[in-house]
Structure 1
């Protein structure tokens, strides 16, 4: 088996009871289909209790329950990712002693290691138990080679002849309880549980959800390869407990392996009994070493799509960790499974629902693993009809995508959020974040630019962009007094502003980011029709029933949208933002609870103040290249030169609390070509969002996948300056002085390019096996880079960049 690269490991050298839940999320394993929190197996053997130290989470991607819940007096039907039965409870005891627990032994050595290159999590323990020295080597994986398989292996070193009791648990009585403030929406979700088991250590479980068509089968098998054992079983509160006795062999070694296979819905036979049999049949015959080898080889093929190295070991470490979690969430095993992109990975944070966070992953996926980007596009395209229906119900045209999505394509935003400080329910109006549609259109366009796939443009890409554009064109209303189109009653990316102070209805008018991205989408819709062949354009128009005068109306709306400028110099966050009260500086910089909770507990609201949870206006500066922004603004008739840009950026930076994980990565991108020093500072903070967070942080609920992907995007799109355009690949690097050497590979229209930043230059080399040349644009000109050819691009100084921005 290949030796892991120590530069690609996450290592904890000591046990910290208070940090266990965060580490369970940080070190979670997945393969795009299954996800397994790094919960200690021995913790799952004890009777279920309210244990704040551990949380056993095991999930099937996209497997949601929609059972109604009573919340704040309302019956709420909202999708939530299901916590599956926990199949990995495992522990041992000496004779009649207590079951092994880290908190009851004298720990001599502790090391927990996640190998990013292989997807294997290892725990190495050495401790004294009842005057005996015990060594435990644990290895676990979620197979990147087999979609429905997870495996645990223990190797115990004990004195020969010692008598042991072994216990393993298949816990079907689990609840969704990973986020305490969400308990009113969560609870027990699995119903109709039934079990099978035998004396050889095999077991199976079947269950259903509130929707009787959503069904699960799980099988487990306990193996002791060097010492076959007989197991006896009991059932207690939906927990199948299997137990046996054994004597340590002369070698002093005892190996225990436990495999788990999960089948859901159409993967399993119709009857529960047959489903349990089928799940057992799919248990692998291979031993742990063979299963790990197959998974490792699959991981190695995946990593070839990035090939990232850096002279800064901490930077490389963080970026590999972020890419690892991206590939655990969206993998080749995800393709064809109708799965979206959850912002906390496939865990219980945000109920496992899908927001806009693929926006931060798409530039990376489209240029490294385009087939994975296509899979996410298919998730949105499959819900296009539902988005059209939602628009019609609102009296609008086109497609209105929900802010939060899950299985059905309906809106999944919970109507209420519990404030843990006051105990009161706060209305959640964030379903008004209509800018989600522009994110879907942006992602679709990025995939087309990366692949130049005309069939995509004439099909899903074109349909998504045009239908979102039609939505904007119908939502925007013409105001004769201003001779402008207005978009009213929406919420921007900043969730701290839901309405005007004391307003009867939620929603804000003319959010800058929303309006800019609406204009961008309307422009793209016209461009789609112009790019297609006459036959394809006619077919698309006919399929979507595009009326002859619609494209001209799209153009009129795009050029006539209103933007809320202050003194013709400053782009405000939304109309009226500048009239709000000035916030206390302590709220921006002091040590305090989450601001919306703190203010609501005082019967106040963030809506009253000029502060934002996260970058809002600056999202446009992060997302859209300067040239694109300028073109949009000029066509709208607005002046926004470099002085206005700096004034706008400084104004909003002074009002951001950065209480969203996305905020600092957005600021790093927005500032890359404006203020290199500030950009790098924000970037360093963004890299530490999860790895550097305290044990009681929100990381416990799941990693912050959008911020992780955003760090990779900022590196490639801003610092290395890689931009996808219709006429080729644009490379205009703006690396901070601190970024000395980094290399990565990417794919652009089926051609592989290797980029290396070193010694004040960015080298671009086309792979020998490329079938054609790549059109490149850079500051000194343009070229066609043929197979095996290289190009050196000089790095402009920060002063030069500042002068041109």
Structure 2
């Protein structure tokens, strides 16, 4: 390091300098830093020097809380490493960096805590600039979140600064945002144009309900909504359909500061941030503003829907007057004054009342669903806060009005506990909610919060994916997994997942093939119990599928394209276009691949989990009835092939087509599964359903005769009959675009062109990979990829998956980034209607099945094939994976792949591809770890290593 660089770090000027926070005294008290740059030689810790030992212990504590720490030292890494290894555990070490040799070399640490050189020669003339480029900006860390501490402090001063940072975090409690930006989604300011979109992104949910992240006090554009999973009432759309029930607003808070409302639209806001803490499942808000009377106030809030007790909802509020002492009023409201986006009021009436602990709002929907909400607000520290709460009961609301006497600079904290039950829970809701409130009143708020956070920690241990080198994708993936975890009810088969999860009203909460094809795989490999429950929803709605098939003149079961609570078709027959045109919707009549999609998901779940019970009972019944549907749906024609006419495939730009390849291939799989079940573990159930040997033989024959659309000359699949004769359109010539391509081309030109809305044949490649030769996979992807306009959020993630498997790195990267931006970048333009749950699931699949290359084969579900394709910039991809009762941890590295068999009752097979097409296989024992090292573009044989 040159003397100039040394002076910049070692002798900083107090305050803010060039955006960084440098210090020669303790830094400002109300700021949590995310990156600490420390000029320090911690080797003294190895000799147990007391202050160095304390300092390095505090460094480890900050690393454990998600901060990143860079140590700048004149020592070499080799000299420093023993102190690091002796003092900092492997997991937090991943967020530690060392600028060794005075900054000439920058090192990070991998998943095993070993040093990895980030750059062979850092520009040690400007160490801070280098660190901002390498360690801050890629993670979204702003300059003001970087604290630079020079060596002049010595170990004691350094320890004091770090200790203060930890104390500040403890003082902030639940209001403290994550120090790791890859675990948070932050929205600053107040943008009227984006507010509905932001509300979707910041949704909190627990599978039982979901609440959009709207402002607690509301605004002129706020669209608050709490959705009750699995509960539906009629909409007021042009074509009425069932829609998710909008529950009373439980999170409403109104603030009055010295008689003036505190709200973003009426208060001059100096700063305003909302943060979705993905790791803890918290929605945080901080606002610092001054009202018309000149009273400056900082308000922080935290909201959560408990993952530990799904009937429990918590809020915390902190109010700190900045320039006055006086009176603040907080109204904690339960409001039944809610309507859906369609304009429907689901509630027939309310009966607010006084409860034993707090006010209760009891309501009943037009359909007879009963609900009870109870609320109780208390002071976090009753002994130090002067507060009086009164209850107010209105026609459709119940409220606690709490008056606080606040003092200058002193935070006043309130805790609110809300309980919610409905008649769907099997008992009288008001009795259950009063009991819950009494139990919660006897438990500390901190304990309730801790149970919720612990539940999230359990889920993240089974789900979290680390992508070293691509923090933007890592954060997007965590955002995706947060919503997938938050939106599933793992113990209630009456609830599936709608296309927009529990975050918005688009599609009215209806369930599509999105669930089985795009979301269920995530649950299968991280939360099998939840996957099973989602599939049992299809069994509970099987009678609705039977009714639909019968109505259309078919046998067996045809699942609703859009399903709600009964399984009957809920796709609207028509919609009104933006220009007022009435447009017919044919999906409910013709998009029949949904039945094969459900069958595929059941089979894939059973293969991946070893759950034969579902194949003996519920799954067997579904497979039998869907097979019966396909037999009645098509016919053998003069060419001797079985044809399925007049359908819509995944590419919804082309309606009423014959022999859609995706539909036919998936129908064939459906029939094959039914044959296997009826002759195997499900034969008793099949017999009970009246299946005869002749019927099984008929399924087998039709599967063998299925028209598949293969062109023997080119090796291509024709997406549907006549597709190859349609006009070619250069889709790329219409990019970039802000509207779907079918709007640009017009409906008729789109239908007569080779323009594909979303992955169709490419989707088939992803699902039935082993049905196609390597040559056919590549040819079909290269043919259909440039013809696909990605008019659906379901499409880019699947393209990323297949492109990664094919080794098309640039293409895979482009589609991975596109998928990551669907919601966080709103690149579909409709995130206001809720997050795109299928897109979120496809992002996980793109990384797990594409980049990490994890898959099994139909012939051997007990063996995991690992074929990673790391994309440019990725230094490591690590993820957990459950397969056949084993818990695995997979680490894909540029030069190797590691698999740790964390738990399991028996060994599992592992396979990598070696030279000349050879495969290296090993039987991996539980509790052990294995590595296959890479040589050129192939892998050597597996070796056992230390776990």
CA separation in 1, counterparts of 2:297 and 2:894? 52
> 1:101-155, CA deviations, whole angstroms, 9 ceiling, x for partnerless residues?
1122232233322221111121122222332331111111110111112112110
**Is 1:424 matched with 2:558?**
no
Q: CA deviation at 1:217?
A: 1.8
- In the TM superposition, what is the alpha-carbon distance from 1:267 to its structure 2 partner? 2.9
1:339 and 2:495 equivalent? yes
CA distance in 2, matches of 1:242, 1:143: 22
CA separation of 1:449/1:275 partners in 2, compared to 1, >3 Å: closer, same or farther?
closer
- Paired position in structure 1 for 2:77: none
1:137 aligns to 2:335 (yes or no): no
One of 764, 768, 772 as aligned partner of 1:629? 772
1:258: Cα distance to partner?
2.8
Counterpart-to-counterpart distance in 1, 2:759 and 2:497:
21
Question: For 1:102, what is the secondary structure of its paired residue?
Answer: coil
2:824 to 691, 695, 704: 691
In structure 2, C-alpha distance between the alignment counterparts of 1:719 and 1:345, rounded to whole Å? 26
**SS at structure 1 position matched to 2:270:** strand
Question: Distance between the aligned counterparts of 1:541 and 1:201, measured in 2?
Answer: 54
Q: Which residue of 2 aligns with 1:399?
A: 557
Alpha-carbon distance, 1:391 to partner: 2.3
Q: Corresponding residue for 1:29?
A: 204
CA distance in 2, matches of 1:759, 1:606: 43
* 1:247 Cα deviation after fit: 2.3
**1:304 corresponds to 2:449:** no
User: Of the candidates 728, 733, 753, which is equivalent to residue 609 of structure 1?
Assistant: 753
Q: Secondary structure at 1:665's aligned position in 2?
A: helix
Alignment partner of 2:370 out of 201, 209, 215: 215
Alignment of 1:712-791 (within 5 A): 712-725=844-857, 726-727=859-860, 728-738=862-872, 739-767=874-902, 769-779=903-913, 780-791=919-930
Task: Give the equivalent residue in structure 2 for 1:544.
Answer: 689
Report the alpha carbon displacement of residue 363 of structure 1 after superposing the two structures with TM: 2.1
1:577 is aligned to 2:723: yes
Change (3 A) 1:54 1:587: farther
Residue 434 of structure 1 deviates from its aligned partner by 0.8
For 2:796 and 2:216, locate their aligned partners in 1 and report how far apart those are by CA, in whole Å: 36
Report if aligned partners of 2:541, 2:565 keep a CA contact under 8 Å in 1. Answer: no
In 1, Cα distance between equivalents of 2:445 and 2:185? 22
Deviation, 1:599, is 6.1
Shift of 1:290: 2.1
Is 1:87 the counterpart of 2:246 in the alignment? no
- TM-score relative to the length of structure 2: 0.74
Distance 2:608 2:777 in 1: 29
In 2 relative to 1, CA 598–243 (structure 1 residues): closer, same or farther, beyond 3 Å? farther
Q: With structure 1 as the length reference, what TM-score do the two structures score?
A: 0.86
1:169-188 pair list within 5 angstroms: 169-177=333-341, 183=342, 186-188=343-345
| CA distance in structure 2 between the aligned counterparts of 1:384 and 1:9, rounded to whole angstroms | 39
Aligned partners of 2:216 and 2:253 also within 8 Å? yes
**2:327 matched residue in structure 1:** 163
Using the alignment, how far apart are the partners of 2:713 and 2:560 within structure 1? Answer: 34
For 2:705 and 2:724, locate their aligned partners in 1 and report how far apart those are by CA, in whole Å.
Answer: 22
Q: Does the Cα contact within 8 Å between 1:217 and 1:262 map onto a contact in 2?
A: yes
Q: Does 1:348 align with 2:348?
A: no
Query: Please, which of 482, 486, 489 is the counterpart of residue 646 of structure 2?
Result: 489
- Of 269, 276, 279, which aligns to 1:117? 279
Q: Which residue of 1 aligns with 2:218?
A: 43
The answer (yes or no) to whether the contact 1:448–1:461 under 8 Å persists in 2 is: no
Rg (Cα) greater in structure: 2
Give the corresponding residue for 1:19: 194
Secondary structure of the structure 2 residue equivalent to 1:318: helix
1:757-777 deviation line (CA, Å, top 9, x unaligned): 12322111222x432211333
| Counterpart secondary structure, 1:559 | helix
Equivalent in the alignment of 1:6:
180
C-alpha separation in 1, matches of 2:908 and 2:608:
12
Deviation string, structure 1 residues 704-752 (Cα, Å, up to 9, x no partner): 1111111111211222222234522231414144233111122222222
The Cα of 1:293 is off from its aligned counterpart by 0.8
Paired with 1:402 and 1:9, the residues of 2 have a C-alpha distance of 37
- Given that 2:186 and 2:276 are in contact with CA atoms closer than 8 Å, whether structure 1 keeps it comes out as no
* 1:293-343 Cα distance to aligned partner (Å, 9 max, x none): 110011111112124322122232222111111100115xx3135211212
Distance 1:5 1:515, change over 3 A: farther
Q: Is the 8 A contact 1:220 1:283 kept in 2?
A: no
- Assess if the C-alpha contact under 8 Å between 1:397 and 1:471 holds in 2: yes
State the alpha-carbon separation in 2 of the partners of residues 405 and 341 from structure 1. Answer: 10
Change (3 A) 1:661 1:249: same
Say whether the 8 Å CA contact 1:9–1:113 is kept in structure 2: no
Q: Are 1:160 and 1:249, in contact at CA under 8 Å, matched by a contact in 2?
A: yes
> Higher mean Cα deviation, 157-166 or 790-799?
790-799
The answer to whether the 8 Å contact 1:34/1:61 transfers is yes
Deviation at 1:369, TM superposition (A): 0.9
Contact 1:269 1:278 (8 Å CA) reproduced: no
In structure 1, C-alpha distance between the alignment counterparts of 2:762 and 2:404, rounded to whole Å: 63
Give the distance between the partners of 1:62 and 1:798, measured in 2 at CA: 49
Match of 2:840 in 1: 708
- Report if the CA contact (8 A) 2:296-2:324 is conserved: no
Change (3 A) 1:791 1:165: closer
CA contact (8 A) 1:88 1:258 kept: no
Where structure 1 has 5 or more consecutive residues not aligned to the other structure, the ranges are 45-50, 178-182, 499-506, 631-640, 801-805
Q: What's the RMSD between the two structures over aligned residues? A: 2.8
Shift >6 Å, 4+ stretches: 272-276, 796-800
Contact 1:149 1:260 in 2 (8 A): yes
CA distance in structure 2 between the partners assigned to 1:584 and 1:730 by the alignment: 40
When structure 1 is superposed on structure 2, of 425-434 and 3-12 the one drifting more is 3-12
Answer yes or no: is the 8 Å Cα contact 1:153–1:288 preserved in 2: no
What is the aligned partner in structure 2 of residue 231 from structure 1?
390
**Are 1:64 and 2:232 counterparts?**
yes
Partner of 1:673: 805
Q: How far is 1:622 from its partner?
A: 1.7
> Residue 735 of structure 2 aligns with which residue?
589
Aligned residue for 2:254, secondary structure, equals strand
Distance 1:245 1:783 in 2: 68
Q: Which structure is higher in RCO with an 8 Å CA cutoff and minimum separation 6? A: 1
What is the DSSP-based 3-state SS (H/G/I as helix, E as strand, rest coil) of the residue aligned with 2:265?
Answer: helix
Q: Of 376, 397, 404, which aligns to 2:534? A: 376
The residue correspondences of 1:246-645 to structure 2 (distance < 5 A) are 246-249=404-407, 252-267=410-425, 284-312=441-469, 313-331=471-489, 334-346=490-502, 347-358=504-515, 359-420=517-578, 422-431=579-588, 432-480=590-638, 482-498=639-655, 507-532=656-681, 537=683, 539-565=684-710, 568-569=713-714, 570-583=716-729, 585=731, 588-596=734-742, 604=748, 606-625=750-769, 627-630=770-773, 642=775, 644-645=776-777
The answer on whether the counterparts of 1:205 and 1:217 sit within 8 Å (CA) in structure 2 is yes
Alpha-carbon offset, residue 702 of structure 1: 0.8
Q: For 1:722 and 1:586, how far apart are their aligned partners in 2?
A: 31
Point out where structure 2 has 5 or more consecutive residues left out of the alignment: 1-172, 914-918, 940-947
Return the alpha-carbon distance in structure 2 between the equivalents of residues 118 and 275 of structure 1. Answer: 27
Give 1:220 deviation, angstroms: 2.0
Cα separation, 2, equivalents of 1:758 and 1:252:
50
Q: Is the 8 A contact 1:588 1:656 kept in 2?
A: no
Q: Secondary structure, in 3 states, of the residue corresponding to 2:564?
A: coil
**CA distances 1:347-400 after superposition (whole Å, capped 9, x unpaired):** 312101110112112222112111111111111111223323332333322221
